[in-house]
Amino acid sequence: MLNKLTLTQALTGLKKKEFSSPELVQACLNEIEKEDSKIHAFLHINPNALSQAQKADINLPLGGIPIAVKDNFLTMGLPTTAASKVLQGYLPHYESTVTRTLKSAGAIIIGKTNMDAWAHGSSTETSDYGPTLNPHNTDYLPGGSSGGSAAAVAAHMCIAAIGSETAGSIRLPAAWCGVVGFKPSYGRVSRYGVIAMASSTDSPGPLTKSVADSALLTQIIAGHDPYDATTSPLPTPDYHRHLQQPLKHLKIGLPKEYLEVMQPQSRDLVLQAVKKMASLGHTIEETSLIHPKYSIGVYTIIQRSEVSSNLARYDGIRYGLDRSHFSDEAKRRIMLGTYALSSGYYDQYYTRAQKVRTLIIQDFHSSFQKYDLLIDPASPGPALKLGAAANDPMFGEMQDILVEPSSIAGLTGISLSCGQINGLPVSFGLIGPQFSESLVLQAAHAYESAI
């Protein structure tokens, strides 16, 4: 079935004229029609996808490839709601840099995927339009906030997808849905036209069926953007080509504090993956980092503070509905952020959180003086059951505990599967210094090829 192809396989098939772009798009649309009523990965389907496929230029880097996009990326001609009823029916007047770049490369946006409303969560249960379910077992959650994108890839309803991560929102759903989730360094991919959640950590990135696919997509969407002053001016390497280059033997750190957080069965699978990495010639050493539990408080204060600022624009005056349509989760985050930034509490909470954030960044910097990469599983265990996030305001922070430190430090990281427990995927992950995307992708590709 064409919809089950990886991105690299689909591109090869199109160029060899083994099938056409309309056939590839139709295969994905058929799968959406067949499966999405159960999984609910999509909020909007592109009604012009087939006609766009008929005009696709397969000589472009992504010519004719159907890609799903998280519903917090502005898309002209397609609604963008961030899964919130505040923006119900909103049609953007301009395009996000990521989606504009994808379209310029020939990709066809097949639809917009479900997410936690405003990206507030790690389960996709806080969507105002109902939860997305895990394709491996629909009694379980897909993770979040990019749960719709991860589920769409895992269920073969698209060839690849785009998500965004603030503290695990790409890597956690990738882990729970058993796909590859790649988080570029903060500033490597433009945030222009992405509905802001926490502006100092938001990072767009791909969810794919293979590491090579993630390398290819990142290659296309990465780079300096004059519309986003936080993007790096550093040149973008050819990540996909670098995968084929010989990989030197790496020195990789295994943080013991991260293993302590993991569930025993998941930890055993991760340690098996560590042995496989060692068998490839890499040196793996146990090391020590600041315990990830300290990142929870730091992230909570900084993220809520930035949320309270970013959501202030949604007042129902210029666009969207009034603030009474905010969900309880959004209201909680606005109130906590406003409190943390208020006079008399700013230094006690926000300033202190930023100081601890600096300590975490410095801790990583010291560690990367000794190690090329660090092992960082995306989740303490496999997916949790539907309803697990209900009435738990700290659910997301607890599930993202292993990836929050690298996110608030602006590092790059990847999640890929290393086994299953009762049919549910378990993740193995790597993180590297800022702008070490090539090395992280190379190491992950070598591991994936070995297994």
Main-chain dihedrals φ then ψ at residue 195, nearest 5 degrees? -60, 115
**What DSSP letter does each residue of 41-53 carry, written as one string?**
-EEEE-TTHHHHH
Out of 122, 146, 149, 169, the active site residue is: 169
Out of 21, 70, 96, 295, the active site residue is: 70
Coil, strand, or helix at residue 413?
A: strand
Measured distance between the N- and C-terminal CA atoms of the chain, rounded to whole angstroms = 24
Query: In the annotation, is 169 catalytic?
Result: yes
Q: What angle do CA 396, 172, 356 make, to 5 degrees?
A: 55
The per-residue b/e assignment along 192-218, b for 16 or more CB within 10 angstroms, e otherwise, is bbbbbbbebbbbbbbbbbbbbbbbbbb
Is residue 380 within 8 A of residue 114, CB to CB? The reply is no
Residue 98 structure tokens: 């990521």
Give every strand in the sheet of 180-183, ordered side by side. Answer: 42-45, 108-113, 66-70, 160-165, 203-208, 180-183, 412-421, 424-432, 373-375, 251-255, 283-287
Bridge partners of 385, per DSSP, are 140
Residue whose structure tokens are 């994905």: 28
Radius of gyration of the chain from its Cα atoms, rounded to whole angstroms: 20
Query: In the annotation, is 251 catalytic?
Result: no
Query: In the annotation, is 385 catalytic?
Result: no
Out of 21, 96, 145, 185, the active site residue is: 145
Residue whose structure tokens are 């926490």: 198
Coil, strand, or helix at residue 287?
A: strand
Euclidean distance between CA atoms 376 and 404, whole angstroms: 10
What is the chain's length?
A: 451
Residue type, 55: K
Pick the closest to residue 284 from 251, 243, 326 (CA basis).
251
Is residue 204 within 8 A of residue 221, CB to CB? The reply is yes
Is residue 441 within 8 A of residue 414, CB to CB? The reply is yes
Coil, strand, or helix at residue 418?
A: strand
Instruction: Please state, as a whole number, how many other Cβ atoms lie within 10 Å of the Cβ of residue 93.
Output: 8
Q: Catalytic amino acids?
A: 70, 145, 169
